[in-house]
Structure 1
Amino acid sequence: MSPTSIRMALVVVNLLHLLLFSVALVRSDRSTMPLRSFKISGNVTYDCIDIDKQPGLDHPLLKNHKIQMKPSVSIHEIKNQTQINKTYKEKIKCPYGTVPIVRRTNEFITNAQLLADKYFHPLSPDSSGTHIAGIKQHGGPYHGISARFNAYKLDIGEDQASYSQMYIGNGYYGEFNFISAGLMTNPSIFGDSRLWSYGYWKGKYAKGCYNTVCPGFVQVSNVVPIVKPFDLKPGEQAALEWSIARDKQTGNWWIIQTGKPNAYIGYWPKELFHLMYDGASMVGVGGVSQALKSGFSPPMGNGKFPKRGILTSALFSNVDVLNSMYEKRRINVDVPVEKLLDSVNCYGIRIGNRVKFWTTPLGYFFNYGGPGGTSCGV
């Protein structure tokens, strides 16, 4: 073989090696890189991650966890996910087999993890500067809670937070497990003053986390992420119809959206909790405000005290529970409801007594909120 032929053969071999190496890199990248991304609201990006490779599954308690695609028992009748995608125009629509995970900066992760330990819940010790206006109920075991509720665009300071939450939990000898979800304005976590949907959990070893900041929550819907910003003008509102419900067969705790669009959003696996295997002993809903460094308490709800008229302030309606038999019941039917209000100077609550608002059934409902201020107490 001539020198020229040898050189040409070597070139071909090198090209083949390079091609094979490139293919290997592409295959490797596909397992970790998002299949698609959506940039919404300026600085918020969602990556469509393979559902089997989402960060929620990296939790050490979930090494052998098998993903559940929908509740095994129909807790709420909702439309098929395929029908949802055909009828609802959404900014986020990940390909099937992938789920939307909000892209996180190191600062976002750090802030969320630091504030997770300070998250207020009625089962936990009192938190300085935190106020609540809502209702709760002890008894159970409860297997779920659902409600329609709204929250508004408010003027919230950098070191403050205001949110509307639904929660379910259990405590035992100073330990507690709980799940909370709703709408939150918290610049310390999200880096802006927008209203966001959120989910939070605290489980084994007193560990807890917001949304998908750290492993634990398993996102299932490819259309509705658990955490999402709402671009609202001052005084405008966002509304949710959400449920937190324990699956009868698997024991996983689902977040289900029964408003538009209907969706099985995802769940917290049962492995994360050691006090809620058979249900929870307490459920509740309401508004919460947190003043940290400044001492000035922020507004709650729509910033107004509840008065006569359902639309005068923020509203929780159709508050229902899943009882020990997995029967959906109005929250005040079987067990008395306890009203929570620790700062009458700054916030209020007004329990409703109407069955319907125009043609819309309200079930058990109440108005809540207030302007906040400097006289709210500690």
Structure 2
Amino acid sequence: MAIRVIILVITIVCYISYYGKAQEDTIKLSKEEELELEKELNLLNKPAIKTIKTDNGVIYDCIDFFKQPAFDHPLLKNHSYHYKMKPSSRPKTTNENKESLGIGLKGVGCPIGTVPIRRTTKEDLIRSKLFTKTYSSSRFGSFTPKKPGLRRAVLRTIADPSKKYNGGGVVTSVYQPGVTGSQFSSSQMSIINGPDSIQVGWTVNPTLYGDSKTHLFAYLQAGATSCFNTQCPGFVIVSTQIPLDIILQPVSQRGGPTFTLSLFVYRDQANGNWWLEVGPNSTQVGFWPGRIFSALDTGLATYMEWGGEAYTPLGQAAAPMGSGFFPQDQGKQISDAYCQEVTEINESHEQVNADNTELFSDDGTLYGVKDWGPSRGNLGHVMFFGGPSH
């Protein structure tokens, strides 16, 4: 185990050196590093029953449900899951599925009994390891960033020992902020208890994906284990149509038209699994098994937040968040990035408008956040975020 850790650290250092030298065309790795990466790639890239190439050139392999990477997790070796799984309990929801963004692989998707997983290259794996390492180490406590240059503009729950959450939901406008280099920009919902967290949303992250497109994403922190999408064992996919890292198109333009993405994460009361539903039809994409967590296993979430996040290396102009503009006067919803139908799932397993919340921005001079409150008719609880200020 120690040797593997050393190899991975050396690999990341090699990549950092490579990434900062645009004139180099190849990543130079030792034989041992190459072997370690090949071993991990073999675990991630399972034999495909069918291959789908998207219009953007992304390759997805349709993998036998029982051979997906999730089941490489040591706690899931003797699982009893199957591809027709459904949650045994689902909260009563208020989401009216007003979403305008279609999501999923074109055509028929993957065959029944298989799941779509993006094919991973060596460069993909190195980029993912580098970014996940820096991202996971930049957080502590109540999800407060400690990484210089990482900023949030969010609506968050106020600390209250009496409040627990079985999950939550959001409908967020989807943009494609123009980030550069190692910058990234996201809109997300976070569900947290101590060392465990689940994040879902959209992001533009060239370091993670190797492009400047807007992607659906999920992030898992289970104790010391952390990763994006399916880069580590844990998330069990059941959908044949929606990969966790799919490119989202079209995207919103400031002043219209606006396209939105609905996300819903909830805990199954019977077994503690955390389910993810995405899109206008509340498609059940998959779940994080409760057994892989420590705090989110038998316990509920103690903290939630909704809104934007952006990272800018020191010395650079601030990365755009949301629409790239500071939120203007309330009421101009079409002009600003927003989250509507911001909900929580209470201890009675009911979806309700998020209350007992507060606004937070790491740097209010750069990134703004505004709150309409929870009484906006069929829009539910609405908040706005974005920046930098101009």
Larger radius of gyration: 1
Aligned with residue 51 of structure 1, among 55, 65, 80: 65
Cα deviation for residue 215 of structure 1 reads 1.5
Normalized per residue, the structure richer in strand is 1
Q: Which residue of 2 aligns with 1:361?
A: 378
Unaligned runs of 5+ in 1: 1-30, 79-86, 374-378
Q: Which runs of 5+ in 2 are unaligned?
A: 1-44, 95-101
- One-letter identity of the residue aligned with 1:130: L
Letter in 2 for 1:187: P
Identity of aligned residues (%): 32
C-alpha contact (below 8 Å) 1:88/1:261 kept by paired residues: no
Aligned counterparts of 2:323 and 2:247: Cα–Cα separation in 1? 17
Distance in 1, Cα, partners of 2:231 & 2:258: 26
Question: 1:66 Cα shift?
Answer: 2.4
**What TM-score comes out, normalization by structure 1 length?**
0.79
Q: In structure 2, what is the equivalent of residue 148 of structure 1?
A: 171
Q: For the Cα contact (< 8 Å) 2:354–2:374, is it kept in 1? A: no
State the distance in 2 between where 1:103 and 1:155 align. 26
Match of 1:25 in 2: none
Contact 1:296-1:372 within 8 A present in 2 as well: no
Task: Tell me what 1:116 maps to.
Answer: 132
For these two proteins, the number of residue pairs brought into alignment is 323
Paired residue secondary structure (2:61) = strand
Alignment pair present for 1:262 and 2:277? no
SS of match in other structure, 2:247: strand
Partner Cα separation in structure 2 for residue 282 and residue 88 of structure 1: 28
Q: How does 1:237-248 map to 2 (within 5 A)?
A: 238-248=259-269
Q: Which amino acid aligns with 1:53?
A: K
Between the aligned partners of 2:92 and 2:226, the Cα distance in structure 1 is 27
Q: CA RMSD in A?
A: 2.5
Q: CA deviation at 1:288?
A: 0.3
1:191 aligns with 2:195: no
Alignment match, 1:136: 156
* DSSP 3-state at the match of 1:38: strand
Compare 191-200 and 234-243 and name the one that shifted more.
234-243
Amino acid at match of 2:291: E
Instruction: Determine the structure 2 residue equivalent to 1:298.
Output: 319
Compute the displacement of 1:114 (Å). Answer: 2.0
For residues 222-261 of structure 1, what are the alpha-carbon distances to aligned partners after superposition, in whole Å with 9 as ceiling and x for unaligned? 111221112447837652111111111110111112x324
> Contact 1:200–1:209 at 8 Å: present in 2 too?
yes
How far off its partner does 1:355 sit?
4.3
SS at match of 1:111: helix
2:346 aligned with 1:323: yes
- How far the C-alpha of 1:321 sits from its partner, in A, is 0.7
Task: Summarize the alignment of residues 1-378 of structure 1 with structure 2, pairs less than 5 Å apart.
Answer: 33-67=47-81, 69-75=85-91, 90-91=105-106, 93-119=109-135, 122-137=142-157, 138-139=159-160, 140-171=163-194, 176-204=195-223, 206-232=224-250, 235=253, 238-257=259-278, 259-276=279-296, 277-292=298-313, 295-308=316-329, 309-332=332-355, 336-353=356-373, 355-356=375-376, 361-371=378-388
1:149 and 1:211 mapped to 2: Cα distance? 19
Give the TM-score normalised by structure 2.
0.77
Distance in 2 of aligned mates of 1:59 and 1:314: 37
Aligned twin of 2:12: none
Per the alignment, do residues 52 and 231 of structure 1 end up closer, same or farther by CA in structure 2, a change over 3 Å counting? same
Tell me the residue number matched to 1:16.
Answer: none
Change (3 A) 1:270 1:88: closer
Q: Is the contact made by 1:230 and 1:238 (CA closer than 8 Å) also made in structure 2?
A: no
Contact kept? 1:164, 1:182, Cα under 8 Å: yes
For the residue of structure 2 that corresponds to 1:118, the secondary structure is helix
C-alpha deviation, 1:294, in angstroms: 5.0
